[in-house]
Structures are given as structure tokens and as C-alpha cells.
Amino acid sequence: MRMQLLILLTLICAISFAEEGTMSTQPDPDRPIYHFQPPKNWMNDPKPFFWKGEYHIFHQYNPNEPLPRLINWGHTVSKDLVHWTRLPNALAPTPDGPDRDGCWTGCAVEKDGLFHILYTGVHPQTQCLATSKDLISWEKYNGNPLLSTMPDGFMSECWRDPCAWREGDDWYMLIGSGKQDVGGTALLYKSKNLIDWEYLHPLFTGDKDRDGYIFECPDFFPLGDKRVLLDSCGHTFWHTGRYEDHRFISEKQGITDGGNFYAAKTLLDDKKRRILWGWLTEARSEDEMRAAGWSGVLSLPRVLSPKSDGTLGMSPPPELTALRGKHFRSRTVSPGQAVSSLLDDIRGEALELIVRIPSDGSGRIGLVLRATTDLSEALYLWVDPKEKQLVAAGGQLPEPSDRRVQIAFEPAKGEEIELHIYLDHSVLEVFANGRACLTARHYTKRTDADRVGVFGSGKANLEAWEMKGIW
Ligand code: DQQ
């Protein structure tokens, strides 16, 4: 019965999405082919939820224009972490309701066979509830908002993005907030029924200079024998530490991704994997987003793991290998000093590359991606043992600097560097040695920007695959 309902809904969606309009028939060389995004307009913040073998991603969505206004909750589902089916929007603003100006971020949980979405209504910011029996059709709670007053002492209009979890018979919820001169805060609430909430105290307060003055999109979960707190302010930050007396003690901190990656949240799947998705932000102007007709991309899934030194490991799940097409043989290349050499046998704008760089290198070494043969357009990705950074930027050698993004990355003594790279038109996602991630955006009007090369000094071993589209 549920299957028939899903097929029917998928058909209805297909028809209504066709009415919404498909992408222009003009080829758009910047549009990704194996990352999820709606057919057009705006998406941001993912809210992952796993249920009975299915990966659900709710996400912030404006169905009307590629700009962040009157936000809905879009909904997509996958059985394999690779291919996604769009489902009807879960939530839309109710005129005259507490969410009249937008249904902002929150979370989905299940209690006694009923699914609950806790989310933030604006303006002013309040906390609201919707429920569903089937994850498809959602009914807003008629007592909304559940909460309309924030505790004293925190920045007004910084009280959003509920994240709830169960402990025994009780439910706990974080709401992101902050103190301008102190730092972001995750406010802790408690409930028996997901409707009546009591404010307890801040679970944790950060440091404004280290992880920002507000916590957006908090997420909190066990990983190995640690607890992890995620929060977003400019970047998505991770903290690993202890959870004692309903307070969090941060022991180690870092940035999940140094680039265009934000508002990341997780789910726990039936293989006990804690999987993270982020919103891949654009790096272009409002006018350019309007002209493109779309804005925002869902990251690839990233499997989190606890490292023995208390830091956070991040790696791509094996399911993504299903997207591999033509295999470019593994080869060793020695790039010229500061001169980029384009390869003849690896080309493409949708690629997976694994690059291994021996530990003995001392200079800058990296890749040229999405390059035209004349190198008038190119995206550079490099590691530099002296800078202790993984960097991506467009522009020209010797110092590409357009839309530069970076993340601290230092191989240990004798450690080989392994860059696991996913290039998908305007999206570049990189995992370095399973612990440092970097997302970059690179746009081009050229349809021949499919060259790959290496630059810098040293040696690198390259293996690559063409990637298939998911649509
Ligand atoms: N985006 C949402 C907010 C959240 C922010 C609005 C983070 O709820 O704090 O779309 O990107």
C-alpha cells in the first residue's frame, strides 16, 4: 500500500515538477550531474533522517526563485545514497501562521509511530511542530508555536534550528543561539511529549573567535566513546568531547570543511554509520544565481569516524563507487616546476580522482582541474607542506587566488598524502587523508573546460574515473 502511494506521489511530483518548469534546454556547464539539487530555484540546509532502509533529506527550499525567501521544506529520498527521488514538499509557510515568512531549519524524529518535524518559524523566530504518519503528508500542530519566548541574555532573533533526540523516556532538544561578545550557544530543552518543552540551560557555549558568535544548525550525537557537537557560523565546526550532567565539555575542535560547505547535519543509518551532509553554497552574485535559475547543491554523503587522537574522520561511503564509469589507468606523473602540464588521457568535468603523493615531497604540488587547453580558465587544487594547507582557487599560476578556499592540512612525518577528489562541473569536493575536507565552486562559460593536469614539484600517482549522472 505504502509502495503504491509512493509511486502515485512520485508521478504527481513528476507532473508538478514539470509544471514548475525544467531547466532551460541550453546546456549549463556549471550544473552538477551527480550531486542532488532540485530542478531549479533555491535550496539550502539539509536535515537528514533515516527510516527503514531509506535516507531522507529534508532541505530548505524556495520553489519560486533562486534566492532565500519564503523557505519551504523540500524532501528527497534515496535507498542507495547515490540516486535521489524527489518527494512532495513537506512544509510551506502558512499565511498568518507563525511560519508565515518561512519554515526554517530543524529536525525530524519518530515517536510512537508518528514522525515529528520541529522547525523554526520566522519572523519573529518561534519553534513549531508538524507531524506525519507516512513522512509524506505533514500536518502542522494547531497549537503552534510550541515556544515563542527565548531565554534572557541571548541575542534576539538568534534562536533557531531545533535538534531533538531521545534519552530513555525523555526528549531533549538544542536550539542554536549566541552571545555577540562571548560566542555561539546551544540551548538545552527537555520534554516528555515533543510538545511541552522546558528550558534547562546552555548545553555548551563556544568561543566567538574560534567558532563564531552564533550556533546555527546544531547537531549532537555519540560517536565511538565521544560526543560530537556540530554547529555552523561561517563554517560548520565540530567539537568532540564529553557529555556529563546534560552539559557538553569540548575537548577537541575543528572545521568540517574549509570551503563552500555549510549547515551540515547527520543521520545514523542501519549500518550504524553516522553520515554527514552539508549545503554546498554558491560563490556567485544574486544576479548570476538569477541568471542560472538555480542555487545550492547537496554535498556528497560523508561518513564520520572517531580518530584515536580525538579528531573527526570523514570519508566517502563505498556506495559512491556505483557512479564510476570509464576508468583512466593509474599513472605516475612528475609535474614541471611551477609549470602546469595537461594530461592527454584524463579528461572530464565529472570525475572521481584518487591522487597519492609520496611523503618525501617538500614543495607545492597539485592538480589543475576544469581547465581549458589554453589555461585561460582553470581550478587549481594543491597541498603545500610549508603552508600546511589544502587550498583550491581559480586564476593563474604562480599564485591562483580567485575564490580561494583552504583548510589546515599537515601530513604526519612519513605519511603519504591521499586526495580523494570529486569534481562535478561547478562543484569540487576533496577528502584529504580521511580527515580534512574542502569544497570549492568554480564556474565557467566554456564548454571545453575538461582538461586535467598537474603542477608544482614532486611526483603524484593518479587514478581517475568518469562519473555517471544520477538523473
Ligand atoms: N538557514 C536557515 C536557518 C539557519 C540558516 C534558514 C543556516 O534556520 O540558521 O534557511 O544556513
CATH number of the domain located at residue range(s) 37-315 in this protein: 2.115.10.20
Averaged pLDDT for residues 31-36: 98
Question: Greater confidence, 76 or 10?
Answer: 76
Residue 106's nearest CA partner among 91, 95, 96 is 91
Cα 195 to ligand 1 centre (Å): 22
User: Rounded to a whole number, what is the distance in angstroms from the first to the last CA of the chain?
Assistant: 26
Residue to mutate, 125, 126, 214, 216, ligand 1, most ligand atoms under 8 Å from C-beta: 216
Residue 130 main-chain phi, psi, to 5 deg: -135, 150
Residue 302 makes CB contacts below 8 A (sequence gap 6+) with 256, 275, 276, 277, 278, 314, 315, 316, 431, 437
120 CB less than 6 Å from ligand 1? Answer: yes
77 or 330, which is more confident: 77
pLDDT in tens, 169-214: 999 999 999 999 999 999 999 999 999 999 999 999 999 999 999 9
Q: Is the pLDDT of residue 19 over 80?
A: no
| Atom of ligand 1 minimally distant from the CA of 161 | 8
* Mean pLDDT, all residues of the chain: 93
Q: Rounded to whole angstroms, how far apart are CA atoms 284 and 260?
A: 11
| Of 58-72, 73-87, 269-283, 385-399, the least confident | 385-399
Confidence of residue 463 (pLDDT cuts 50, 70, 90): very high
CA Rg value for the chain: 22
Ligand 1 binding pocket mutation candidate from 41, 43, 45 (most atoms within 8 A of CB): 45
Is the pLDDT reported for residue 25 higher than 70? no
**Gap between the Cα atoms of 157 and 144, Å rounded:** 18
Q: Which residue, 432, 439, 392, is CA-closest to 311?
A: 432
Residue 21 has pLDDT above 50, yes or no: no
| Spatial contact of 264 and 299, defined as CB atoms under 8 Å apart | yes
DSSP state of 318: G
* 346 phi, psi to nearest 5 deg: -125, 115
pLDDT of residue 63: 98
Average pLDDT over residues 94-122: 98
In whole angstroms, give the CA distance from residue 306 to residue 310.
Answer: 7
**Distance separating alpha carbons of residues 311 and 277, to the nearest angstrom:** 18
- Ligand 1 centroid–CA 45 distance in Å is 7
425 CA to centre of own chain: 17
User: Does 17 score more than 50 pLDDT?
Assistant: no
Q: What is the mean pLDDT of residues 370-396?
A: 93
CB 396 within 8 A of CB 379: no
Percentage of the chain surpassing pLDDT 90?
A: 85
Q: What is the CATH number of domain 320-467?
A: 2.60.120.560
Judged against a pLDDT cut of 70, whether residue 18 lies above it is answered with no
**Ligand 1 within 6 A of CB of 60:** yes
Q: Are 333 and 459 in contact (CB under 8 A)?
A: yes
- Among the ranges given (58-67, 164-173, 352-361), the one the predictor scored with the smallest mean pLDDT: 352-361
Rounded to 5°, angle at Cα 136 from 135 and 139: 85
Domain regions of the chain by residue span: 37-315, 320-467
Secondary element (H or E) of residue 81? none
User: What are the residue numbers of the active site?
Assistant: 45
**Average confidence (pLDDT) over 439-459:** 92
How high is the pLDDT of residue 26?
54
118 C-beta closer than 6 A to ligand 1:
no
- pLDDT over 50 at 85, yes or no: yes
Q: Indicate whether residue 104 lines ligand 1 (CB < 6 A).
A: yes
**DSSP state letters, 368-429:** EEEE-TTSSS-EEEEEETTTTEEEEEES-TT---EEEEEEE--PPTTPPEEEEEEEETTEEE
In eight-state DSSP terms, residue 366 is: E
> Which is it for the CA torsion 47, 50, 51, 55, positive or negative?
positive
Name the DSSP letter for residue 102: B
pLDDT at 387: 86
- Where does the pLDDT of residue 327 fall: very low under 50, low under 70, confident under 90, or very high at 90 and above? very high
> What is the whole-number distance in angstroms between the Cα of residue 105 and the centre of ligand 1?
6
Q: pTM of the full predicted structure?
A: 0.94
pLDDT band, very low/low/confident/very high, at 218 (cuts 50, 70, 90): very high
Residue 181 and residue 183: Cα distance in Å, rounded? 6
> Average pLDDT in the 72-91 region?
98
User: Is residue 59 within 6 Å of ligand 1 at its C-beta?
Assistant: no
pLDDT at 11: 45
For 326, the grid coordinates are 570509464
Whether pLDDT at 136 is above 90: yes
Distance of CA 278 to the CA centre of its chain: 1
Q: Does ligand 1 lie within 6 Å of residue 263's CB atom?
A: yes
State if residue 194 touches ligand 1 by the CB under 6 angstroms criterion: no
Q: Which atom of ligand 1 is nearest to the CA of 232?
A: 7
CA of residue 121 to ligand 1 center, whole Å: 11
Average pLDDT over residues 449-462: 91
Which residue's alpha carbon is at the smallest distance from atom 6 of ligand 1?
104
Average pLDDT over residues 294-298: 98
- Between CA 432 and CA 314 the distance in angstroms is 9
Query: Is the CB–ligand 1 distance for residue 105 below 6 Å?
Result: yes
pLDDT, one tens digit per residue, over 333-380 is 887 644 557 898 899 999 999 999 987 767 889 999 999 999 999 999
Q: Is the pLDDT of residue 113 over 60?
A: yes
